[in-house]
């Protein structure tokens, strides 16, 4: 699918949009969904399809934000700390705070709390 | 990884395929950028956590609507509630596109069957019978040629 995502614009000078038809495996997604809680209802066959795209967008956004941290550090290799910094700087990624802290042992504070803001709703 | 690991006894066991994830990640970045291995692993873990989060919320949305099956609409609502409302448009478009795609192919979707001609259905049926016969004969001779005189007129 060649739809240019909303977030492609943020990344100036980089690769915009996606070219490949890579999709996450639906069966795997469904498995993860079933394990997400103790009392998960039946899952329609179409729900994983929606998830597949949502995950792509999520990963794209997280990757982009992490990449911006990398750029701030004037580096060309994206490190775990960049991902952690992106999580800290983004409200909707709050659910990941523990995950990125745990892997580092301590909370990673970005050098500057960047003013990246998602478009106001 | 042992076969039993695939069954997965705990949440940690089920993850997303690294190769596919790697491609998605790399396509977002300029070609000369490298992604550290631990960063990639963390991104995958975050994605799994994202699914957990949205699944839980979807489950609740579904309950509130007193439905028994989590449908795409519930997932979309969950995305909005959790602050990922901006994904909705693209996600919905992809979903619609997928429905169209599966409509076209004769084998895909619930709306297929109309597409398959009687000839194709016949051939398919004969092929399946041939395979079954072969299984019955313990695979001694695989009957590739089905008896054309068999009347399968339905």
What CATH number is associated with residue A89?
1.10.20.10
Long-range contacts of A100-104 (CB under 8 A, 24+ apart): A100/B42, A100/B46, A103/B38, A103/B42, A103/B45, A104/A80
Which residues in chain A have their CB less than 8 angstroms from residue B80's CB?
none
Q: Which helix (H) or strand (E) holds A78?
A: strand A77-78
All structural domains of chain B: 18-83 (1.10.20.10)
A71 at the B interface (CB within 8 A)?
Answer: no
Give chain A's mean pLDDT.
78
Domain that holds residue A83: 26-103
Q: Is the pLDDT of residue B6 over 80?
A: no
Residues of chain B with Cβ-Cβ distance to A93 below 8 Å are: 46
User: How close, in Å, is residue A84 to chain B by CA atoms?
Assistant: 9
**What residues of chain B lie within 8 A of the CB of A44, using their CB?**
69-72
A interface mutation test: which of B11, B19, B40, B50 has the most A CBs within 10 A?
Answer: B50
**Total structural domains within chain A:** 1
Query: At B62, which helix (H) or strand (E)?
Result: helix B37-64
Instruction: Tell me what pLDDT residue A113 has.
Output: 47
- pLDDT, tens digit, for every residue of B47-70? 999 999 999 999 999 999 999 999
Question: How far apart (Å, rounded) are the C-alpha atoms in residues A100 and B9?
Answer: 24
When mean pLDDT is compared across A4-8, B82-86, B94-98, B138-142, the lowest value belongs to: A4-8
Asked whether residue A74 is assigned to any structural domain, the reply reads yes
Instruction: Give the model's pLDDT for residue B147.
Output: 55
**Least-confidence region, from A70-84, B84-98, B107-121:** B107-121
Q: Give the SS3 label for residue A44.
A: coil
Check pLDDT > 80 for residue A107.
no
Q: Kindly report the pTM of this predicted structure.
A: 0.67
Q: How far is B73 from chain A (nearest CA, A)?
A: 8
């Amino acid at each position: 699918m060649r739809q240019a995502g909303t977030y492609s614009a943020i990344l100036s000078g980089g690769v915009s949009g996606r070219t490949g038809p890579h999709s996450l495996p639906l069966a795997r997604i469904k498995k993860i969904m079933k394990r997400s809680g103790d009392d998960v209802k039946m899952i329609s066959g179409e729900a994983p399809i929606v998830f597949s795209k949502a995950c792509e967008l999520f990963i794209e956004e997280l990757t982009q934000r992490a990449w911006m941290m990398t750029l701030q550090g004037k580096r060309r290799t994206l490190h775990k700390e960049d991902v952690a910094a992106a999580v800290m700087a983004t409200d909707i990624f709050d659910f990941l705070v523990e995950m990125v802290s745990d892997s580092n042992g301590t909370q990673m504070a970005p050098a500057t709390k960047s003013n990246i803001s998602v478009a106001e709703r | 990884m042992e076969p039993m690991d695939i069954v997965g006894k705990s949440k940690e066991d089920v993850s997303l395929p690294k190769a596919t994830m790697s491609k998605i990640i790399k396509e977002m970045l300029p070609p000369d950028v490298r992604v550290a291995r631990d960063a990639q692993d963390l991104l995958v873990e975050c994605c799994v956590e994202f699914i957990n989060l949205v699944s839980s919320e979807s489950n609740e949305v579904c309950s509130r609507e007193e439905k028994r099956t989590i449908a795409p609409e519930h997932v979309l609502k969950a995305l909005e509630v959790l602050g990922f409302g901006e994904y909705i448009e693209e996600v919905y478009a992809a979903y619609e596109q997928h429905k169209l795609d599966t409509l076209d192919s004769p084998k895909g979707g619930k709306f297929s069957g109309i597409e398959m001609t009687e000839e194709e259905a016949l051939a398919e049926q004969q092929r399946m019978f041939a395979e079954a016969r072969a299984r019955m004969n313990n695979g001694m001779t695989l009957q590739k040629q089905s008896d054309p005189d068999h009347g399968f007129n339905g």
